[in-house]
Structure 1
Amino acid sequence: MKNVNSLRLFLLAITVATLMVGGCAGLEQAHHGYFMKGSILEKTGDDVYLCIGTKDGTKVGQELDVYRSKRSNTKSRDWERVFTGKVKITEIVDEHFAKGKVISGTVKENDIAEL
């Protein structure tokens, strides 16, 4: 009976470990897909690198609106999205990243571009 309980405990530990490792991979995908998607990662002159790629449906030549989040006022917990400009995709780096060029407005790192 003791061996059966030990085996069950061992199998439970293996199952939990497998779920935890699989869950971490899912969290990474969620982080990219929901929190970073569209982020302006780097800006040099008018060139920008964005966290958006083929996996998101991005294509060379697309023009994306860019927004910045800011507080409505300093005493409020409310945030608003402010249009800051447009970026044109010039190169697809891979499934997660693209390079673009600012075609209008004032775009900064951490702004968000939307398809």
Structure 2
Amino acid sequence: MNRSYAFAPPAATLRQRAGRVLAPVALLLALATSAYAQDGSFRHEVLMRGQILEADAGALVVCVGEADGAQVGQVLDVVRHKRIARGPKAAGPRFRREPVGQVRITELFDTHYAQAQVVTGKPKVNDTVELIR
């Protein structure tokens, strides 16, 4: 017994319709994101970012150097990443940024490392240093 239903098109027809609809949508998304990337209105505000590797009586070794564009005299902000206590199923970020202070680059001794001194705050090993535009 062969039944034909007027309200249910064959599966192949549904796939063809979906393909006709999804292809232009995918193309529009691709064009929109590429145009936005070339726009230039979006810029990353952090010019340089590294980490404090060593801290000894106010003298610091930071993981930013000539290769990152570091220069003697630059003042970098210091940020500490703190874990947020929350429930296991809670949504959202698990860390927050906590401003700690500032450091000044006093010497570049490698393409990737520099000596710095504390300007303000109490930076510790593993804190992040960054130069913001």
Give the TM interval when normalised to the shorter protein: 0.5 to 0.7
Task: Specify the code of the residue in structure 2 equivalent to 1:65.
Answer: D
Give CA-to-partner distance per residue, 1:52-75, whole Å, 9 cap, x none: 000100000000000010112254
Counterpart secondary structure, 1:60: coil
Q: Does 1:60 align with 2:72?
A: yes
The TM-score normalised by the length of structure 1 is 0.65
Q: Does 1:84 align with 2:100?
A: yes
Specify the alignment match of 2:50 in structure 1: 38
Do the aligned partners of residues 93 and 74 (structure 1) sit closer, same or farther apart at CA in structure 2, a change above 3 Å counting? farther
Task: Specify the code of the residue in structure 2 equivalent to 1:88.
Answer: R
Task: Specify the code of the residue in structure 1 equivalent to 2:67.
Answer: K
Structure 1 alignment gaps of length 5 or more: 1-36
Larger radius of gyration: 2
Report matched runs for 1:1-115 at 5 Å: 38-75=50-87, 78-115=94-131
Q: Structure 1 segments of 4 or more deviating over 4 A?
A: none
Do the aligned partners of residues 48 and 74 (structure 1) sit closer, same or farther apart at CA in structure 2, a change above 3 Å counting? farther
Specify the alignment match of 1:27 in structure 2: none
* Coordinate RMSD, CA, aligned: 1.4
Structure 2 alignment gaps of length 5 or more: 1-48
**Kindly, what percent of the aligned residue pairs are identical?**
42
Q: Give the Cα separation in 1 of the matches to 2:55 and 2:113.
A: 14
Task: Specify the code of the residue in structure 2 equivalent to 1:97.
Answer: Y
> In the comparison of the two structures, how many residue pairs are matched?
79
Q: Give the Cα separation in 1 of the matches to 2:85 and 2:72.
A: 37
